[in-house]
Structure 1
């Protein structure tokens, strides 16, 4: 199985930054439950991604370990005023495609390469970022890419995104 041409700009950008990754292809996985079968393929933290929006149109991408339990209805309290979003809900598929250029089931922080207007507020789980390596889809759900978390941060910085690292395991404040 090979990666679609749509992934080429992402990997070219990572290469320009000198960021090494390891990508493994697999059958499509759309949910954390389906992805569990791939967890033995790559070491590191396996992650889930929540594409959210608030009533005023703010868009938030929350990235955390796959087993992190989050209450979307109360998540805005945990994120606090630095993020600024109020009462979050899941973003629709058309908004996801418009902003990140991916389909549901393929959400990933690597898709921020497509957010040229920097509409997305990026929230990364502190525990995930403390790990050496984390795993994300490379714009498609037929592959998983392992990347050092320090390199993920460098990638996001290169795109001009403001990143909020939040302890999502802590009780809401």
Structure 2
């Protein structure tokens, strides 16, 4: 059987994995948020860079997760030339999001690569986001925010077997 019969990992699994890597993290629970606009109210409570995530695919069914700063603007007409896609990109379907990253729309996060054991998704972190000392992302659910040092986010991604690409993807 392939890995798609496994249950997605939980936030508890994520935190245990971070702990096993010696990575410091702090999580604050809050009302579920589905959009950047809804999450803006949390800014005063949670310092650091907050993320916006785009789950994209090209015509050859290559999948990409772009993690950018929440207010960043991404040009979907040209981003394929920056991220190495085979064609223009479109948004990936919710079924693939659950299959590969183990999350629902509204809870998309760089932490989702913990569920992508077959490495189906290429993770791209925006260079501007990585200038923050602390990065904030959903811990596989959208009613909490986990804060982690930028360098530790890179270590986490590498520990999942993914190669984090830090590229200038925003305008």
Q: TM-score, normalising length from structure 2?
A: 0.91
Given the alignment of the two structures, is residue 106 of structure 1 paired with residue 83 of structure 2, yes or no?
no
Structure 2: distance between partners of 1:104 and 1:13: 23
- Corresponding position of 1:149: 150
Task: Count residues in correspondence.
Answer: 163
- Aligned with 1:63 (options 63, 67, 70): 67
Unaligned runs of 5+ in 2: 1-8
| Structure 1 residues 157 and 28: CA distance shift in structure 2, 3 A | same
- Corresponding position of 1:130: 131
Given the alignment of the two structures, is residue 77 of structure 1 paired with residue 88 of structure 2, yes or no?
no
Structure 1: distance between partners of 2:150 and 2:41: 22
| Structure 1 residues 24 and 102: CA distance shift in structure 2, 3 A | same
Does structure 2 retain, via aligned residues, the 8 Å contact 1:73–1:89?
A: no
Describe the SS at the equivalent of 2:106: coil
- Corresponding position of 2:169: 168
Unaligned runs of 5+ in 1: none
Greater than 6 Å deviation, 4+ residue runs: none
Per-residue CA shift, 1:138-164, capped at 9, x if unaligned?
A: 000000011001000000011110121
Does structure 1 retain, via aligned residues, the 8 Å contact 2:75–2:170?
A: no
- Aligned with 1:49 (options 53, 69, 72): 53
- Corresponding position of 1:120: 121
Aligned residues: CA RMSD: 1.3
